[in-house]
Copies of this chain bind each other. A is one copy, B any other.
Amino acid sequence: MSNTFGRILRLTTFGESHGPAIGGVLDGFPAGVFIDFNRIRYQLSRRRPGQSAVTTARNEVDEPEFLSGIFEGKSTGAPIAFLIRNADKRSADYESLRQVFRPGHADETYTAKYGHRDHRGGGRSSARETANWVLAGALAAHLLPQVEVLAYTSQIGDVRLPEDAAFSPEDVDKYSTRMPHVAASTSAEKLITDLKEQGESVGGKVAVRVTGLPAGLGEPIFDKLHARLAHAMMTINATRAFEIGSGTRAASMRGSEHNDMPDDNQTFATNHSGGVLGGISTGRELTFEVTFKPTASIAKEQKALDTEGHVVDLAIPGRHDPCVVPRAVPVVEALTWLVLADFYLLNRIHTLY
């Protein structure tokens, strides 16, 4: 019942993994903005399966059709509706799953909630939905031309991007893992391909750095900037944790160590706040990190419940990523854009004179 996200810039989405199409309606997009369709297609291609050895072989062209809200290249202020047809469906792959609840999937909970479900590829709960978000996020990014959102893989399994890794935004996509460091990415890629052979999967983390964000974004009390980011990130399939700034490390820290203090040049040596104080952006770098669990669909045999409550043996057919993290990078980025653009529009209301 909650297929709408945002307060001013509102994205409503629909579509099942194996239905005729997925799509969405982006309402509240201001008028008069020239739309860069190449930017949108580029972001969709980043999320697309089948990009490398570390991703699923399902192949979706993901060519969006725009149905409204854009006239002669510019947004009109009317809602922008878009459609992405589901081309490469193999629903028959899923017929054997009609009566089984796959471990780690929403099969059992959708059935508990709705009484029945579309079992083909997870139906509405499929990560196919994230293509809608990537498209909408690319639209939202048009509204904040001065802001840069940089998302990248910071961990896969136990392989962690070194703290002191130096890279530019352009570097991220040069690595199949999107972990921008030669040695680390090589280790991670080897880990993934090894696990794939074993019918296994692995988790990881995506980190985000936002620069150029103005101070003052975020709404007290119940729509704090990091609360909305947390909400957005927990919306992504397979996420397990959200950390702003210092994150879980803050539990062990002292106040004098954690507080970001200015030096004599009015600059701040640390950014434990992650760019948010009291739920409102400071105007300094915004930083957060998101943890993903290992892909639930694995080829390895598992125990599962069927719809009758019996325990059955299950080896999941179909094509699945052994690690969702590399393809999650543009998804994290897209939802970040949606949150930031929404707050940006909302912020134009606050001071009248």
Interface string of A326-350 (1 = CB under 8 A from B): 0000000000000000000111111
Are B113 and A67 within 8 A (Cβ)?
no
Are B240 and A248 within 8 A (Cβ)?
yes
Interface string of A81-105 (1 = CB under 8 A from B): 1010000000000000000000111
Question: Number of A residues contacting the other chain (C-beta, 8 Å)?
Answer: 150
A293 contacts which chain B residues (CB < 8 A)?
246, 250, 253, 258, 272
A266 contacts which chain B residues (CB < 8 A)?
305, 309-311
Bound together, the chains give a CA A323 to CA B348 distance in angstroms of 37
Is A235 in contact with chain B by the CB < 8 A criterion? yes
Interface centre among A215, A348, A349 (most CB of B within 10 A): A349
Which of B25, B124, B346 is the one whose CB lies under 8 Å from A12?
B25
Are A353 and B32 within 8 A (Cβ)?
yes
A164 to chain B, nearest CB (A): 20
Bound together, the chains give a CA A244 to CA B243 distance in angstroms of 12
With A14-B25, A305-B266, A309-B266 as contacts: A277 and B108 at CB distance below 8 Å: yes
Are A351 and B124 within 8 A (Cβ)?
no
* Copy count, this protein chain: 4
A274, closest chain B residue (CB): B240
A56 to chain B, nearest CB (A): 14
Are B280 and A123 within 8 A (Cβ)?
no
Is A114 in contact with chain B by the CB < 8 A criterion? yes
Which of B205, B240, B349 is the one whose CB lies under 8 Å from A8?
B349
Interface of A is mostly: mixed
Bound together, the chains give a CA A314 to CA B228 distance in angstroms of 32
Bound together, the chains give a CA A258 to CA B78 distance in angstroms of 28
Chain A residues within CB distance 8 Å of chain B: 1-5, 7-8, 10, 12-16, 19-23, 25, 27-28, 30-33, 65, 67-69, 71, 74, 76-81, 83, 103-110, 112-118, 123-125, 129, 143, 155-158, 195, 200-205, 215-216, 218-224, 226-235, 237, 240-248, 250-264, 266, 272-274, 276-283, 291-298, 300, 302-305, 309-311, 345-353
Q: List 16 A-B contacts (CB under 8 A).
A: A21-B68, A76-B117, A76-B124, A78-B124, A104-B259, A106-B279, A113-B350, A155-B251, A201-B254, A230-B230, A230-B242, A237-B278, A241-B244, A251-B292, A259-B302, A263-B311
